[in-house]
Chain A
Amino acid sequence: MTESLFAQTVATATGLLMLTAVLQVWRRSTDASTRLLAVQGAALALLVGAIGLAEGHAELVAVAVVVFALKGVLLPWVLARTIARSGIHREDSSAVNPVSGLLAAAGLATLAYAVSRPLVALDAGPAAHAVPAGLTLVLVGFLVLLTRHRAVSQVIGFLVIDNGIATVAFLTAGGVPLVVELGVLLDVVLVVLILRILSARLELAHGELDLHDLRELHD
């Protein structure tokens, strides 16, 4: 893989990641969010694969495949099924309107750029320059968590954060050690599954669930 092609691929992938993140804030449809998540997962896998090829790490390529399988296919599919079963296709009770959300996302992106300056300075490669994108993903994911009231939207927000962290990990260091990486992936899958089980049980108990009304426990 040539230097320029690598740079191009990294740029494309990070661009896709950023785009999906922004769209996540924008769109209200849970179906769309799920599809965006799948695209995001694929972009992440593309990024990992590119880095793996560029640095000649075969195991990274393998990780890319796993990432694609999990984040690009499995988890979006699980979410899609959850949505289909619960019948909630729209996030209609978001705390902020899309414009403020987008503005906030822009602010967070700025913060991410400011924060990641020392990280970018560590390494001159094209990968390092894309680190702010990862950080933006983390912050935007948090924003989604913070503003969405549906259980499934929160899971999506959590996954966006996770994608962001993974992006940072691969861009700065070519990924953490394999043991850790696999552990992390396993943990993420388990957390998503737990959240799914819990949301299913919650809906069983509460009916159609707005998380903002989940306030029986308080002081």
Chain B
Amino acid sequence: MTLTDVGLLSQPVLAGLAFIAALAVNDSRRSAIAGTLNALLGLATAATGVGALLGEPGSLTFATGIPGIAHLGQLALAPDRLGGIFLVVVGVVGALSAWFGVGYAHGATATRAAWAAYPIFLWGMSIVPAAGDAVTFLLGWELMALGSTVLLHSEHATRPQVRSAVLWYAAMTHLSFVLLLAGFAVLIASANGTTWEALAASPPTGVSASLAFVLLAGGFATKAGLVPVHVWLPRAHPEAPSHVSAAMSAAMVKLGIYGLLLVTLRLLPDGPRWWAIGLLVLGGVSAVYGILEASVTSDLKRLLAFSTTENLGLMVTGLAVAMMLRSTGQRAVADVALVAVVLLVISHAAFKTVLFLGAGSILHATGERDLDRLGGLARRMPRTAFATSIGALAAAALPISSGFVAEWVLLQSLVHGDTRGPTADRVIAIALPITVAVVALTAGLALLTFVKVVGIAFLARGRSPEATNAHENPASMTVPMWVGAGLVLGLGLVPGWVAMVAAAAVGASGIEPAGLAGVALPSVNALLDPVSLVLMSLAVAVPIAVITVRAARKAPRRTVDLPWGCGGVRVDPTMQYTATSYAEPLVRIFDDALRPTRDLDVTHTVESDYLVREVAYRQRMVDQVERGLYEPVIRLLWRIGDQARRLQDGSVHRYLGFSFAALVVVLLVVTW
């Protein structure tokens, strides 16, 4: 029994226990017991991942009632190193979310159904990277879909939007499943069996290979929330309970990336160039569109959802660049890009967990997730504010966070795709600079977005009574956030061993530990050691601190009502800049892409038309992809449905006519 074996075996046991506990325990203690068991399930998943990363073989098989559906009718879990990384991600995120749920879930989010769905969701997520064959993969995929759908619907009775979110989510998830099923079916049709080994051994060629790739990439892109199949994400994430949003955003969508890595690294490694170009476009557009929407959104959870689209876009971009570089023989740089992808995955998992849990904490304390109604929470909820700010630091890719390390590695791989000399390649020469620009624009807008989040939510003064009267949440909610924040900082400070593990997972070479705990990329002459950077900053800070402390002793801070305020007096907190106003310059600049709808009502005074009594301004952001791409399709579908209903108009003669026509046609065909 290896660690992997133990982990794989303990997962179904813990999932079963959690499921039973959710159904059996009464309302008052359900969250505590089921949440704890789910957290343990997450830890078991993480342990499995560690085992797999250590290269310990392990497997768990179970049989189905349909002989021949998979290899010998056996569904097998046998994670490899790549799967191991994702198992760790899923496990840790799942454990933190469940732990947070212990304190967070109550009422509609802590029903039997909700807590019973959680282990299904979590176990489904851990089956996907652990699966050893396509059918098991699909099984995990759909268990995950089922569990998350049930969790998503928790608060339907109080918020009408939940229903449409559930429908969108279910439909898009099923689209993803359908595409994957078709894609795997293509692969299986040309292979002898359904295991990854069998599929990789005899991949399809030519058009079939491309069909498989397009189908699989489409399916995974849908789950990963890439534009234009991202539409479920900004609907589902805000409506789900926050700990579920965290698990969905930080772990579940990541499995789309796992799938893409699986396909491009293992199943179809030698695809034509346009696959990579396609993915690059997909990733680039997602990154920019995602962060642009995020930057102009004031619903905190919707903002985080769009930010997820952005981050997943970056990951896909990295993967596409790796594929492109590989195809021109630049393996060493391609390896760096792959490591960047894995680092982005890990980093995003860590910081998005913190951010969604932070959003949940705020929601729990204030009942608000609209940034325009928050403010001043740093003083009311300092622990939440601090943890969330660290998450935001990573989301903005600033040092010394995990996000910075990941983005740095990504950029290093992008600028070193050397295409001069004999290996000159025009496509890369054009693609790489554009990619750098895309990544940079994304990074810039992410900076703005998360300054907005932290600045508007936590700083200054509360913009609503809810925000002003908020109270910090209990430790059961803040501690998981702190653990997550610790991971963000840890990964950001000591990226060396993480990068080594990431390199091992994707089979990359040329990644070395360097400095105190840093990472070196010899193939691109680059080195990053955040600890040293911090030490250097501390050294620089010493004289500053000395001067400040000495000056402070002489001239201490004096508290006044308002230091300057342009000579005015302090006015209503609602006159502060809000999230909407903060993003207003961007909305104007990207007006063509965002097309917001604005209403301006000016009420004049009775006395004169020159005197304004009241101005009402409303701005609504509508997802343009949804409006342009989905709404016509949906309208068409409903029209088809309405037209089709006329087929069954109740006339027995018409029905007989159908049968008669079928008979005549069959007779004609047979006679032919």
How many interface contacts (CB-CB < 8 Å) are there between A and B?
48
Interfacial chain A residues near B664, Cβ < 8 Å: 111, 139
Bound-state Cα–Cα, A211 to B653, Å: 8
A179-219 toward B: CB 8 Å interface, digit per residue (1/0)?
00000000000000000000000000000000110111111
A142 within 8 Å of B (CB atoms):
yes
Q: List, in ascending order, chain B residues with CB within 8 A of A146's CB.
A: 653, 656-657, 660
Residues of the B chain whose Cβ atoms lie less than 8 Å from the Cβ of A216: 650
A66 at the B interface (CB under 8 A): no
**Residues 649-671 of chain B, each 1 if its beta carbon lies under 8 Å from chain A, else 0:** 11111001100100110011011
Using A146-B656, A146-B657 as known contacts, say yes or no to A215 and B668 having CB atoms under 8 A apart: no
User: Is residue B645 within 8 Å, beta carbon to beta carbon, of the partner chain?
Assistant: yes
- Given the contacts A111-B668, A115-B671, A142 and B663 also touching, CB distance less than 8 Å: yes
- Tell whether B648 is near chain A: CB-to-CB under 8 Å: yes
- In the assembled complex, the Cα of A139 lies from the Cα of B645 at a distance in Å of 28
> CB of A84 within 8 A of chain B?
no
Task: Determine whether A95 belongs to the interface, using a CB cutoff of 8 Å to chain B.
Answer: yes
Q: Is A114 an interface residue (CB 8 A)?
A: yes
CB proximity to A under 8 Å, residues B18-48: none
Q: Which residues of A contact B648 (CB under 8 A)?
A: 218-219
- Docked Cα-Cα span, A147 to B654, in Å, equals 10
Interface status of A117 (Cβ within 8 A of chain B): yes
Q: Which A residues are in CB contact (< 8 Å) with B652?
A: 154, 211-212, 214
Selected contact of B649 from candidates A111, A115, A142, A218, CB within 8 Å: A218
| B650 & A214 in contact (Cβ 8 Å cutoff) | yes
Inter-chain CA distance A172–B488, complex, in Å, is 84
The range of chain A's interface size is 20 to 34
Q: Say how far A59's CB is from chain B's closest CB, in angstroms.
A: 31
A219 to B648: give the CA distance in the assembly, Å.
Answer: 6
Q: Does more than half of chain A's interface fall in helix, strand or loop, or is it mixed? A: helix
Whether B670 and A215, one on each chain, are in contact in the complex, defined by CB atoms closer than 8 angstroms, is no
CA distance A50 to B664 in the complex (A): 31
Chain B: CB-nearest residue to A211: B652
* CB atoms of A215 and B653 under 8 A apart: no
- Determine whether the beta carbon of B650 is less than 8 Å from that of A215: yes
* Closest A residue, CB atoms, query B672: A114
Q: For residue B671, which residues in chain A have a CB less than 8 angstroms away from its CB?
A: 111, 114-115, 117
Report chain A residues within 8 Å CB of B653.
Answer: 95, 146-147, 149, 211-212
- List, in ascending order, chain A residues with CB within 8 A of B660's CB: 142-143, 145-146
Complex CA–CA separation, A81 to B140 (angstroms): 66
In the complex, how many angstroms separate the beta carbon of B644 from the nearest chain A beta carbon? 8
Question: Judging by beta carbons under 8 Å apart, are A142 and B656 in contact?
Answer: yes
Residues of A within 8 A of B651 (CB): 212, 214-215
**Within 8 Å CB of A211, what residues of B?**
652-653
Contact B670 A115 (CB under 8 A): yes
Q: Smallest CB-CB separation from A147: which chain B residue? A: B653
Shortest C-beta distance, A46 to chain B (Å), equals 27
| A145 B650 Cβ-Cβ under 8 A | no
In the complex, the answer to whether B645 meets A219 with C-beta atoms within 8 Å is yes
| 1/0 contact string of B632-658 vs chain A (CB within 8 Å) | 000000000000111111111100110
B668 CB contacts on chain A under 8 angstroms: 111
Given the contacts A212-B651, A215-B650, A217-B650, A111 and B667 also touching, CB distance less than 8 Å: yes
Closest B residue to A149 by beta carbon equals B653
In the complex, which residues of chain B have a beta carbon less than 8 angstroms from the beta carbon of A214?
A: 650-652
Q: A145's closest neighbor in chain B, by CB?
A: B656
Instruction: Contact check, A215 vs B649: say whether CB atoms are below 8 A apart.
Output: yes
As a 0/1 sequence over residues 110 to 129 of chain A, the CB contacts with chain B under 8 angstroms (1 = contact) are 01001101000000000000
For the complex formed, measure the closest distance between the CB of B653 and the CB atoms of chain A, giving whole angstroms: 6
- Select from chain A the residue with minimum beta-carbon distance to B668: A111
Residues of A close to B649: CB separation below 8 A: 215, 218-219
**B650 and A218 within 8 A (CB):** yes
CA distance A119 to B652 in the complex (A): 32
Q: How far is the CB of A172 from chain B (nearest CB, A)?
A: 16
B1-26 CB mask vs A (1 if < 8 Å, else 0) is 00000000000000000000000000
A195 to chain B, nearest CB (A): 12
Q: Report yes or no: B656 in contact with A115, Cβ–Cβ below 8 A.
A: no
Cα distance A59–B166 in the bound complex, in angstroms: 67
Residues of A within 8 A of B656 (CB): 142, 145-146
In the complex, which residues of chain B have a beta carbon less than 8 angstroms from the beta carbon of A219? 644-649
A142-B660, A146-B656, A146-B660 known; A115+B667 contact, CB < 8 A: yes
Chain B residues within 8 Å of A139, by CB: 663-664
> Which residue of B has the minimal Cβ distance to A157?
B656
Tell me how far the C-beta of B643 lies from the nearest C-beta in chain A, rounded to whole angstroms: 11
CB closest residue in chain B, given A146: B656
> A57 CA to B660 CA in the complex, in Å?
35
Select from chain B the residue with minimum beta-carbon distance to A113.
B671
Q: Give A143 to B664 CA distance when docked, in angstroms.
A: 11
From residue 95 to 154 of chain A, which have CB atoms closer than 8 A to chain B? 95, 111, 114-115, 117, 139, 142-143, 145-147, 149, 154
In the bound complex, residues from chain B placing their C-beta under 8 Å from that of A114 are: 671
Complexed CA–CA distance, A114 and B672 (Å) = 9
State the Cβ distance, A154 to closest chain B Cβ, in Å.
8
Closest to A108 in B: B664
List the B side residues contacting A215 at CB < 8 Å.
649-651
Contact surface of B with A, Cβ cutoff 8 Å:
644-653, 656-657, 660, 663-664, 667-668, 670-671
Closest 6 CB pairs of A and B: A215-B650, A218-B650, A219-B645, A219-B648, A115-B667, A218-B649
In the complex, besides A154-B652, A211-B653, A215-B649, 5 extra interface pairs with C-beta distance below 8 angstroms are A142-B663, A146-B653, A146-B657, A214-B652, A215-B650
Write 18 A-B pairs (CB below 8 A) sorted by A numbering: A95-B653, A111-B664, A111-B668, A115-B670, A115-B671, A142-B663, A145-B660, A147-B653, A211-B652, A211-B653, A212-B651, A212-B653, A214-B652, A215-B649, A216-B650, A219-B645, A219-B646, A219-B648
Q: Interface residues, chain A, CB within 8 Å of chain B?
A: 95, 111, 114-115, 117, 139, 142-143, 145-147, 149, 154, 211-212, 214-219
